[in-house]
Amino acid sequence: MTAPFRDVNPLSMMKRIPWRKILSCIGFLLLLLVTLIVLAGTWFSYQGRREWAETKAELQRRGEVLSLSDIVFPPLPPEQNFFADPIWEPNAEGKIELFDMQISAKEAAALQKQFPSLAESIKEGKCADVGRVINRRALNRSYTPEEAALVLATYEPMKSDFATLHRLALRSAARFPINYEKGTAMLLPHLNALMKSGQILAMMARAKAVLKQENSGADEMLLILRLPQTVDDDVTLISYLVKLSLYSIAISVIETSVSDWNANQAGQVQHALVNADILWQVVGILRGERAFGNQVMDQLKKAPLGEFTKTLQTAGGVSESGEQWSFPQELLLGAYQFAFFDGDRAFLNQTYQKWLDYLSSEPGQVTPAMLEALNANIDESLRGVNRYRRLVTYLAIPAVKEMFARAASIEAGLRQARIACAIQEYALSEKALPSSLDQLVPKYLDEIPRDVINGGPMHYRSDGKEYVLWSVGWNEKDDGGVSSPNERSPQKKLDWVWKGRLPDAAAMP
């Protein structure tokens, strides 16, 4: 039965197979598949362009600004501009060398001899490094008198820079020359210099308060409060985050130093705090970030795939880790750029508008439950395959979502700082802490700042020697002034707490 099969020649059978027809069918099927993919991509691209055109028209009808050219401010006259001074000129490496003074070996040896118990903290190098070491030593406590004296001695050679900053702070406006046309490659060297200035001024303010020097750090405090206002005209999220960090530094210094200020100093700081409206500025930043995003997407739309991929790698943090996207991933990016890019832009603009509408509905306050529900809805729209269809939105929104709770906690701290300054004035006048915040009105405050969370009353408790101010925090629950000192995330803290005390001058008979 099997003999006939042994006589069959395999080669002859191979020749009888219609390879040409099979290959033609495979080629036709592949061509059909490619055609269907292109048609589908073309349809998605058309839908995306139409959705973006409709979204753009609707937002413009509502008076929203979508272009950076309609937001970015023109240059200021130099005599009015905080940044119109040689100290803000970047060097050849694009860095601003403000407060970059060095300690020589000879100067380090002299400081070691002057402060023998702190000799291990003093080394040749940048002056700022010594301050950072002292800050780590004094974490969660005040400086010792010797640490305070070392901080002031270390920064004494920089007094000309401080004098310049004080002079520039008197100017009415501030606008650093940013080339927004460079998109994600734009340079922002002033932000690092501002942060460095704020940190050094905070160390000096703390040191002067410990040593009971004439102004007890109040002058430094006023200058710290001026620094975040210098980026009011910047329209990017990174500038706003630096602003929040500078205000956070200010809040920390006020909380530890206000009880050492006289009534005039407390009044000056309270007056300076009136202009620090963090929540109002969130609206401008969202509009600016959206306009900046539209400009970047305009550039990406015209960019070759290699540049497009590189920009998204940077945005996603891939380039920083040293990893590279694989060929299939880059192929998917090409499909995204062709088919889904405009639809993603429409969704990104709609997302920003949802946040803006929410903030407009509750001016001056935040309801975390409502904001979290809104963010959850946005997250749901980015799950599964939508994460890839809306890739730019997926990469862009996490930093914005995190900003809201941080901005609310800083706003709460600034409102508490105003109240603390008023309490200091009251205590120096009445030789006692107020039993109720109502006692501060109208002599020391026109009205008591409300809790940023839900707009409720700011809570206060005093035992006559110390007091506690608190906001109910992100959980919207009054935990009785109980904080979470080891928790850094404002969302996870219990109450947002401020602690103060009766000033020594008020306690004296």
Tens of pLDDT, residues 87-145 = 999 998 888 988 878 888 998 899 999 999 998 888 888 888 888 888 888 877 889 99
Rounded mean pLDDT of 19-45?
A: 77
pLDDT in tens, 416-432: 999 999 999 999 999 99
Which range has the worst mean pLDDT, 296-310, 404-418, 442-456?
A: 296-310
pLDDT-derived band at 318 (thresholds 50, 70, 90) equals very low
Does the pLDDT of residue 52 top 50, yes or no? yes
How far is Cα 315 from Cα 140, in angstroms, rounded to an integer?
A: 35
pTM over 0.85: yes
How far is Cα 449 from Cα 73, in angstroms, rounded to an integer?
A: 31
pLDDT at res. 324: 60
Cα angle 228-234-236, degrees, rounded to a multiple of 5:
105
Residue 343's nearest CA partner among 390, 375, 311 is: 390
pLDDT at res. 326: 65
Which amino acid would we find at residue 207? A
Render 263-330 in DSSP notation, one character per residue.
HHHHHHHHHHHTT--HHHHHHHHHHHHHHHHHHHHHHHHHS-HHHHHHHHHHHTTHHHHT----HHHH
What are the tokens at 497? 């707490």
Q: Which residues of 232-260 are buried (b: 16+ CB within 10 A; e: fewer)?
A: bbbbbbebbbbbbbbbbbbbebbbbbbbb
Does the pLDDT of residue 356 top 60, yes or no? yes
Q: Spell out the residues 6+ positions from residue 437 whose beta carbon is closer than 8 angstroms to its own.
A: 419, 448, 458, 460
* 148 exposure class (CB count in 10 Å sphere: 0-12, 13-18, 19+): buried
How far is Cα 458 from Cα 448, in angstroms, rounded to an integer?
A: 8
Domain boundaries, the chain: 85-170+188-276
pLDDT at res. 4: 54
Range with the largest mean pLDDT of 137-151, 210-224, 261-275, 332-346:
261-275
* 500 exposure class (CB count in 10 Å sphere: 0-12, 13-18, 19+): buried
Phi, psi at 88, each rounded to 5°: -100, 5
How far is Cα 419 from Cα 367, in angstroms, rounded to an integer?
A: 22
Range with the largest mean pLDDT of 20-24, 66-70, 120-124, 246-250:
246-250
Residue 356's nearest CA partner among 406, 283, 294 is: 283
Query: Between the CA of residue 6 and those of 1, 10, 12, 13, 403, what are the distances in Å?
Result: 10, 10, 13, 13, 78
How much is the mean pLDDT over the chain?
87
Does the pLDDT of residue 313 top 80, yes or no? no
* 382 exposure class (CB count in 10 Å sphere: 0-12, 13-18, 19+): middle
pLDDT-derived band at 321 (thresholds 50, 70, 90) equals very low
Does the pLDDT of residue 438 top 80, yes or no? yes
Report the DSSP beta bridge partners of residue 499. Answer: 468
pLDDT at res. 239: 94
Percent of the chain whose pLDDT exceeds 90: 54
Rounded mean pLDDT of 374-381?
A: 95
Let me know how long the chain is.
Answer: 509
Rounded mean pLDDT of 207-212?
A: 88
pLDDT at res. 486: 75
Percent of the chain whose pLDDT exceeds 70: 91
277, 232 Cβ separation under 8 angstroms: no
Of residues 339 and 242, the one with the higher pLDDT is 242
Rounded mean pLDDT of 41-54?
A: 90
Which SS3 state, helix, strand or coil, does residue 424 take? helix
pLDDT-derived band at 8 (thresholds 50, 70, 90) equals low
Does the pLDDT of residue 10 top 70, yes or no? no
